[in-house]
């Protein structure tokens, strides 16, 4: 009798755990990462294993751990149902590409509980991208945006860094990020995301990686596409491509890591922008 | 508005009574109560479920291995304790109430007539069963600061006699590189298939026989790669943990404090490379090698053992060598099935083969003092073994486990020329001490959160050993059935 009960236990689980609601959106959701095609239907197990605790069974960011992730110390898990993503190569307001989502899963997000999932196989990550997409009806009705064009990176010069400082002043980055990039601008304490939750500006000086990547191209992309769902807008309409590179170089002077930009700024004796000075013209 | 329903992850309500009834039935029939699993201290810190790091707790998956390799850090710039709630204390306990049945063959039992011992023995099988407890572990680990980690594990037997199973500090990502991490203290060797994270609990199935094997009569207890060791380890890994290496140097003490066998060291080196094999998953191949020396001579003073036995060592000399080496494979066949493989070739010096070496075990009767010679025909014992452990992961909450280990002697300590060697004195049968063991079982976690672990554990182990029975040349079979609640919080 005992043996029967012992055997009955896993058999009963088999019956229960396979009762998933495989709806049409789930069956159709795919992703394409290079030559790899991800299928949402294959991601049920890894999503349940790795993701559901934060993002929740319904992908709405209401996993069991979400209540304990309080901004601004930690960001709340992403609500996939909204179909709004910070890290994109596409213009603001558009859907990200599959590669964007794949890169986010792979890279993780510093200063959050989203780790780097680069230990997963490429196939698993591609499947998870498809799974993430199936939560939002946006993918059924819209196409991802066209990735912005990023011109080749020019050589860093002192003039470019000074020009970047002018861009920093002109588009008033300092209002949130502070004049020295320490996230202590006059607006910093009032920032909220689109859901009304407090959110911190990025502190360039503490050594963290920017959420959407830490290469020069990543930083360029961040302020030219904006971080949708946050107060960080796209400056694609305000900053010319060559000015964007200038701004990248200037932002590098704030950062903890050693860089040519820091050296040049030191040689220049570059001062922080003056919030009370007239706004530089374009 | 999403059309998704919660049913994708929740059980249908109609099945709950059945499950409850099944659980209650098992409960009533088999008695016992309470189990669990996972290291919730880390899960609580990072808000990740047990399943994020564990294939099935406590066995790590690739993500968990990377977390461990990073010094128990997610590397999210929030690893330092300054970012934690001040009330957070990274402590977890684990214990397992069990019911088990142990059956051992060929046990010599005294015989009685009229209540008086006859002085004779019969050889019979002895079977015992009943409710029992495992030991108790208190795990505490994490970061003292960013890139400075620690792990302390006071562990008791089932009678609450404690010892330090693990005590180590670790400097992580030295010079900003994941390739350089230094660990110091008492720790588990960097075995890819970790015995400290084994999924089975029976006496013989709860350890990897390959990690502890000793030929019959062999006195070398220092080659047990499954035991935690006292030393220093340098390890490194690629950012995605696909490439790993570790080099450890430690005292040949088998993890025992007090330098009872001072002045002998062992080196352990391991490396592995993982490959992305598309839909099959990530495959890993690696190797390990352990080369060491351990003493066979105990200094005496006034005829009594000096020093080491009283923890005032060193008092041991006459070091002899031993080695263990092999390959490790972790093969995945899609999301549900995997196979773990470990091979081993082992060799001990002939002195160990004749029983010299083990003082920690209390066996100092054999002392390699000046003028002592090996008996004619004594030779270095060597052996080959393989361990195969398949898993079927039905879901993060249910895993089926199997294991087969076999170890075959390739050269006995008592060679053909032996006339006065250890044991019977003469040459040993070629299969003496050969060992085979099978283990099957499953672990079911009725819930999976980041707060606590709880597993309903069922396991059966059978072990066969050649030529070690009390009647010369006969074989011994031992089996154990174990049912329990494995839990931690």
Q: How far is CA A163 from CA A156, A267, B138, B451, B462, in A?
A: 11, 16, 58, 52, 76
Choosing among B8, B11, B61, B75, which should be mutated to test the A contact, i.e. which has the most A CBs within 10 A? B8
Residues 6+ apart with CB under 8 A from B158: B132, B133, B134, B135
Task: Please tell me the CATH code under which domain B18-52+86-133+196-231+241-488 is placed.
Answer: 2.40.160
Mean pLDDT of B280-284: 97
pLDDT in tens, A45-103: 999 999 999 999 999 999 998 888 877 667 889 999 999 999 999 999 999 999 999 99
- Look at residue A40 and tell me whether its pLDDT is greater than 70: yes
Could you tell me if B29 and B448 are in contact, meaning their C-beta atoms sit under 8 angstroms apart? no
For residues A233 and A81, what is the distance between their CA atoms, to the nearest angstrom?
21
Instruction: Indicate whether A1 pLDDT > 90.
Output: no
Section B98-111 average pLDDT: 94
Chain B residue numbers with beta carbons less than 8 Å from the beta carbon of A135 are: 2, 4
Helix (H) or strand (E) holding B217: none
CB B398 within 8 A of CB B444: yes
Q: Per-residue pLDDT for B11 more than 70?
A: no
pLDDT at A91: 97
Please give the pLDDT value at position B312. 55
- Res B22: pLDDT: 47
In what helix (H) or strand (E) does residue B245 lie, and over which residues does it extend? strand B243-251
Residues 6+ apart with CB under 8 A from B377: B414, B415, B416, B417, B418, B419, B421, B427
Q: Closest Cα partner for B466 from B476, B451, B455, B453?
A: B476
Of A48, A110, A118, the CB nearest to B396: A48
pLDDT tens profile B367-393: 888 899 999 999 999 999 999 999 999
Measure Cα distances from A110 to A37, A207, A235, B251 in Å: 28, 10, 23, 40
Confidence at residue B384, expressed as pLDDT on a 0 to 100 scale: 98
CA atoms of B353 and B214, how far apart (whole Å): 9
How many whole angstroms separate alpha carbon A89 and alpha carbon A69?
27
User: How far, CA to CA in Å, does A219 sit from each of A111, A202, A216, B80, B147?
Assistant: 17, 12, 5, 26, 26
Tens-digit pLDDT profile for residues A211-249? 999 999 999 999 999 999 999 999 999 999 999 999 999
Helices (H), chain A: 2-17, 24-28, 44-46, 52-55, 98-107, 122-134, 138-141, 158-170, 174-177, 216-225, 241-252, 260-268
Measure the CA–CA gap between B200 and B401, rounded to whole angstroms.
8
According to the model, what pLDDT value does residue B313 have?
53
Residues B170, B176: Cα–Cα separation, whole Å:
14
- When pLDDT is averaged across residues B454-458 and rounded to a whole number, the result is 96
Integer angstrom CA distances of residue B376 from B145, B358, B425: 59, 22, 10
* Residues shown for chain A: 282
> pLDDT value at position B30?
36
Question: Comparing C-alpha atoms, which of B448, B465, B446 is closest to residue B457?
Answer: B446
Q: How far apart are the first and last CA of chain A?
A: 84
Residue B118 sits at φ, ψ, to 5 deg, of -85, -15
B431 in Cβ contact with B215 (< 8 Å): no
ipTM: 0.87
Is it the case that residue B4 has pLDDT exceeding 60? no
Which conformational region is residue A209 in: left (phi greater than 0), alpha (psi within -120 to 50 degrees), or beta? beta
Residue B335 reports pLDDT greater than 70: yes
Q: What is the mean pLDDT of residues B33-46?
A: 60
Q: What is the pLDDT of residue B197?
A: 95
List of residues 6+ apart from B4 with CB closer than 8 A: A21, A23, A58, A59, A135
Q: Are residues A45 and B240, on separate chains, in Cβ contact within 8 Å?
A: no
Closest residue by Cα to residue B188 from B206, B209, B204, B165: B165
Question: B396 vs A49: CB contact, 8 Å cut-off?
Answer: yes
pLDDT of A254 strictly over 80: yes
For B293-330, write each residue's pLDDT tens digit.
Answer: 999 988 877 777 776 445 555 567 889 999 999 999 99
What domains appear along chain A, each with residue ranges and CATH number?
24-141 (1.10.760), 158-268 (1.10.760.10)
What band does B92 get if pLDDT is binned at 50, 70 and 90? very high
Domain boundaries along the sequence of chain B: 18-52+86-133+196-231+241-488
CA–CA dist B457, B220 (Å, integer): 34
Cβ distance A135 to B279 less than 8 Å, yes or no, reads no
Q: Give the model's pLDDT for residue B470.
A: 83
Give B230 or B423, the one with higher predicted confidence: B230
Mutation target vs B (from A48, A119, A258; most B CBs, 10 A cutoff): A119
Q: What is the dihedral of CA B232, B237, B243, B248, to 10 degrees?
A: 0
Contact B456 A113 (CB under 8 A): no
Peptide bond between residue B338 and the one before it cis (omega within 30 degrees of 0):
no
**pLDDT surpasses 60 at B13:** no
Please answer yes or no on whether B281 and A48 come within 8 Å at the CB atom.
Answer: no
A119 and chain B in contact, CB less than 8 A: yes
Which chain B residues are closer than 8 Å to A34 by Cβ?
none
Say what the pTM is. 0.88
Taking the CA of residue B396 and the nearest CA in chain A, the distance in Å comes to 6
How far apart CA A108 and CA A98 sit, in angstroms, is 15
For chain A, give the percent of residues with pLDDT over 90: 74
Contact B47 A54 (CB under 8 A): yes
Pick the more confident residue, B182 or B253: B182
Among the partner residues A17, A110, A113, nearest to B395 by beta-carbon distance? A17
Distance CA B110, CA A154 (A): 91
Judged against a pLDDT cut of 60, whether residue A28 lies above it is answered with yes
Average pLDDT over chain A reads 89
pLDDT value, residue B368 = 87
Which of A14, A75, A103, A123 should be substituted to probe chain B, the one whose Cβ sees the most B Cβ atoms within 10 Å? A123
pLDDT tens readout for residues B354-368:
999 887 766 667 888
Mean pLDDT to the nearest integer, B428-448: 96
pLDDT (0 to 100) of residue A109: 92
Residues 6+ apart with CB under 8 A from B12: A16, A19
Widest distance between CA atoms in chain A = 86
| pLDDT tens-digit map of B221-271 | 999 999 999 999 999 999 999 999 999 999 999 998 888 777 899 999 999
Quick one: average pLDDT of B42-71? 92
B76-90, B299-313, B447-461: which has the minimum mean pLDDT? B299-313
């Amino acid at each position: 009798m005992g043996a029967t009960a012992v055997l009955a236990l896993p058999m009963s689980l088999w019956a229960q755990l396979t009762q998933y609601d495989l709806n049409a959106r789930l069956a159709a959701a795919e992703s394409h990462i290079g030559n790899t095609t991800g299928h949402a239907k294959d991601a049920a197990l890894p999503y349940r294993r790795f993701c559901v605790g934060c993002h929740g069974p319904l992908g709405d960011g209401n996993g069991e751990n979400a209540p304990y992730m309080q901004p601004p110390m930690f960001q709340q898990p992403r609500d996939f149902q909204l179909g709004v993503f910070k890290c994109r190569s596409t213009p603001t307001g558009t859907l990200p590409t599959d590669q964007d989502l794949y890169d986010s899963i792979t890279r993780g997000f510093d200063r959050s509980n989203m780790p780097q999932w680069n230990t997963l196989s490429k196939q698993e990550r591609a499947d998870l991208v498809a799974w993430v997409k199936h939560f939002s009806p946006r993918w059924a009705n819209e196409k991802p945006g066209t990735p912005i064009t990023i011109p080749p990176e020019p050589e860093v010069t002192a003039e470019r860094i000074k020009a970047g400082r002018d861009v920093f002043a002109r588009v008033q980055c300092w209002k949130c990020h502070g004049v020295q990039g320490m996230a202590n601008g006059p607006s910093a304490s009032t920032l909220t995301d689109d859901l009304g939750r407090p959110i911190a500006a990025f502190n360039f000086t503490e050594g963290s990686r920017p959420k959407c990547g830490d290469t020069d191209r990543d930083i360029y992309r961040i302020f030219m596409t904006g971080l949708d769902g946050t107060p960080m807008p796209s400056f694609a309409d305000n900053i010319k491509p060559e000015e964007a590179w200038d701004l990248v170089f200037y932002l590098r002077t704030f950062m903890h890591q050693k860089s040519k930009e820091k050296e040049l700024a030191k040689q220049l004796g570059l001062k922080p922008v003056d919030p009370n000075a007239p706004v530089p013209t374009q | 508005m999403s059309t998704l329903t919660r049913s994708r992850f929740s059980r249908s309500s109609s099945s709950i009574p059945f499950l409850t009834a099944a659980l209650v039935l098992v409960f009533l029939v088999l008695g016992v109560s309470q189990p669990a699993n996972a290291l919730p201290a880390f899960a609580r810190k990072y808000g990740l479920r047990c399943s994020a790091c564990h294939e099935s707790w406590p066995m790590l998956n690739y993500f968990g291995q990377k977390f461990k390799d990073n010094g128990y850090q997610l590397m999210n710039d929030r690893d330092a304790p300054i970012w934690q709630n001040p009330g957070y204390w990274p402590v977890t306990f684990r214990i397992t109430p069990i019911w088990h049945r142990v059956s051992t063959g060929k046990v010599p039992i005294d015989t009685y007539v009229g209540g008086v011992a006859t002085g004779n023995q019969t050889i019979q099988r002895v079977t015992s069963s009943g409710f029992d407890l495992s030991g108790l572990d208190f795990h505490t680990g994490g970061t003292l600061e960013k890139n400075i980690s620690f792990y302390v594990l006071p562990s008791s037997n089932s009678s609450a006699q404690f010892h330090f199973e693990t005590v180590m500090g670790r400097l992580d990502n030295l010079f900003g590189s994941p390739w350089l991490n230094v660990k110091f203290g008492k720790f588990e060797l960097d075995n890819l298939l970790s015995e400290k994270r084994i999924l089975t609990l029976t006496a013989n199935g709860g350890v990897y026989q390959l990690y502890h094997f000793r030929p019959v009569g062999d006195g070398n207890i220092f080659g047990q790669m499954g035991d935690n060791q006292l030393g220093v380890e340098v390890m490194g890994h690629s950012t995605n943990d696909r490439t790993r290496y570790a080099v450890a140097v430690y005292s040949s003490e088998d993890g025992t404090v007090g330098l009872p066998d001072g002045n002998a060291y062992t080196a352990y080196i391991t490396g592995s490379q993982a490959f992305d094999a598309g839909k099959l998953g990530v495959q890993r191949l690696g190797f390990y090698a352990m080369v060491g020396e351990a003493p066979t001579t105990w200094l005496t003073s006034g005829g009594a053992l000096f020093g080491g036995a009283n923890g005032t060592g060193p008092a041991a000399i006459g070091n002899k060598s031993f080695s263990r080496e092999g390959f490790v494979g972790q093969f995945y066949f899609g999301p549900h099935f995997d196979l773990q493989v470990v091979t081993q070739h082992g060799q001990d010096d002939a002195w160990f083969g004749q029983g010299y070496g083990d003082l920690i075990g209390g066996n100092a009767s054999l002392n390699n003092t000046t003028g002592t010679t090996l008996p004619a025909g004594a030779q270095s014992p060597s052996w080959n073994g393989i361990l195969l452990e398949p898993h079927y992961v039905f879901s993060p909450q249910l895993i089926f486990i199997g294991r087969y280990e076999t170890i075959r002697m390739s050269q006995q300590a008592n060679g053909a020329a032996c006339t006065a060697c250890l044991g019977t004195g003469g040459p040993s049968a070629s299969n003496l001490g050969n060992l085979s063991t099978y283990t099957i079982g499953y672990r079911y976690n009725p819930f999976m959160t980041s707060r606590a672990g709880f597993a309903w554990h069922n396991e059966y182990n059978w072990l066969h050993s050649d030529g070690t029975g009390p009647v010369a040349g006969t074989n011994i079979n031992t089996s154990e059935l174990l049912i329990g609640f494995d839990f931690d919080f």
